[in-house]
Each structure stands twice: as C-alpha cells, then as structure tokens.
Amino acid sequence: MKYSPFSIKHLQQTFGFHFLRFCMGVVILILIVVFHDIFSKGFGIISWEFLTTAPRKGMTEGGIYPAIVGTFYVTVLTTIFSVPLGMGCAIYLNEYAPDSKLTRLIRMSIRNLSGVPSIVYGLFGVALFVELFNLGTCLLASGLTLGLMTLPWTITASEEALKSVPRSYREGSLALGATQWQSIRTNVLPYAVPGMLTGTILGLARAAGETAPILFTGAAFYLPFLPESLSDQFMALPYHLYIMSTQHHAIMQVRPIAYGTALVLIVLVFLLNLSAVVLRYQLRKRYRE
C-alpha cells in the first residue's frame, strides 16, 4: 500500500496534470501580453480631452468623442431592434412551438446563424437595408444590421434561460388553473428575464466591438459632427481603430491614438460583460432564496 510516485499510473497522472496546467498558462500569458501592450501604449494618451473632443488635423490630434457617441447610438439601436424580437422568438420557440421537424430545423438554423462571419452580415445589410429598403448608409442601417447579427445570440441565450426555469413552475401553475400565457407571464418570465438579459448583453458586447457589419452600412471614416438623426452617418470605435491602425496616411504618428481607442473599446466591452456577470449573480441569489 505504499505510495510510489514513479509507478506508471502516478507518472501518467503527474504528466497529465502538468500538461493541462501548461495549456492554461499559455492562455493566461497571451492575455497578459495583449493587455499589457494595449495598456502600456494606450494609457498615456487617455485624458478628459481625448474622451470629449473630436479628432483634429486630419485625425492626427484630438480625441475620439464622435466615435464613442456613435458606438453608443448604434448599440442602443441594436438593442431596441434585437432584444424584444429575440426574446419573443425565444419564448415562442421554447414555450409554444410544437416539437416538430420544422421547429428543430428552425432552431438548428438559428444556432448556425450565430456562427456566420460578421462580414457576411455586413454585405447582407448593404443588400437589404441600404439598397433594397433604400435607407442609404446610415445609423439605422448599421443598427439593424448589427441587430440581425446579434439575434441568433439573443434567441439562443434567451432559450437557455427559459429552459433553466424548472418545469415544475409551469406545471404547478397550470395545475392551479392558469392559462399558458398566465403561467409564462407570472411563473416563467420573472425567473428567466435576468438570464435572458445576461445572454443578450454578452451578444451586445460583441456587437459593439464589430467592424465588418457597419463598414458598408453606415460608419464614416471621419465626421466633424455628431449624428443628428437615424439617417446620418456616424463614427464608431472599432471602425475608427481599424482606420487608425491600417488606413491612415501617417500611420506611425497616430499609433498612440489607435492604442487609446483600443483601450476605450476594451473597457467598454469589459463593462458590458461585467454588468452581465452582476446580473447573473443577482439571478442566482434570487433562485437560491
């Protein structure tokens, strides 16, 4: 019964354990390098002025204020478009739709759509909103395109949240003479909505950082003013970053601005994700009580 660390079994275990630890180490290391790079090069330029003024002198000086506002606007539009639609769709699929071949096909398509590259959505947005609906390249067209892109995410996440509400809540209320809608409204949604929101926010965070869908549908290279209506073009953080790091005429000169933009974008996405985590925590607390 004596423990022998050099037996085959124990060696296997030691090797396996260290290999897994190595994998995790690599991931953490990459993350640290990326963060360090962006922070060290971008932090210096961040100032109140950088955050609140427009670019100047061919975008070699000044701030990124229009890009922040533009990203905010387009994210709000995306939310308005995709959240109600996605949640409604999820409720229908999970609560009402019969378990038929068609339903399964629809569900599978939605899952697949969430894997479609964002550039495809961008082109689709051009064809549908810009051309067919004749909206032109504008805030609305971009918001709708991003909304389309996040829909599969919203639906899938919402469905998962609905599935996590125990069957017994539904049966319990139905057995008390509730209609199906009463049962969903009073005994399913209150417990599913926080979870639905969590998933949705993660989707929005991804949308906020996307370049491809807005590239052809509404984002502007440079605008000296803020968008005033839905049919205006707008600047956005990811697109701005893309330009500053690849398209600008004085690319080395604007490098710090590019890093600053990247930092702001990361912080924005981080904040969105953080709010999702907080929501999820609240949700769990509510279930446990």
Spatial contact of 265 and 234, defined as CB atoms under 8 Å apart: no
Q: Does 169 contact another protein by CB under 8 A?
A: yes
Whole-number Å distance between alpha carbons of 151 and 157: 10
If the CB atoms of residues 56 and 286 are measured against another protein, the closer one turns out to be: 286
Q: Checking DSSP bridges between strand 55-56 and strand 61-62, what pairing results, if any? A: antiparallel
CB burial string 194-205: b at 16+ within 10 A, e below = bbbbbbbbbbbb
Of 98 and 224, CB closest to another protein: 98
Distance from C-alpha of 81 to C-alpha of 77, rounded to nearest angstrom: 6
Q: Which helix (H) or strand (E) holds 55?
A: strand 55-56
Which of 143, 130, 174, 1 minimizes the C-alpha distance to 81?
A: 143
Q: Residues 57-96: x/- map of binding to another protein (CB under 8 A)?
A: ----------------------------------------
101 binds another protein (CB under 8 A): no
Q: Which is nearer to another protein, 111 or 286 (CB)?
A: 286
Q: Which of residues 170-209 bind another protein (CB under 8 A)?
A: 171-179, 182, 186-187, 191
Residues 6+ apart with CB under 8 A from 108: none
Residue 88 CB, nearest distance to another protein (Å)?
Answer: 21
Q: Contact with another protein (CB under 8 A): which of 12, 47, 168, 253?
A: 168
Q: How far is the CB of 105 from another protein (least distance, A)?
A: 16
Residues 109-128 that bind another protein (CB under 8 A): none
Q: CB 99 → another protein: shortest distance, Å?
A: 5
Query: Where would I find the beta strands (DSSP E) of 115-192?
Result: none
6, 24, 26, 98: residue in contact with another protein (rule CB under 8 A): 98
The footprint of another protein (CB under 8 A) covers 98-99, 166, 168-169, 171-179, 182, 186-187, 191, 286-289
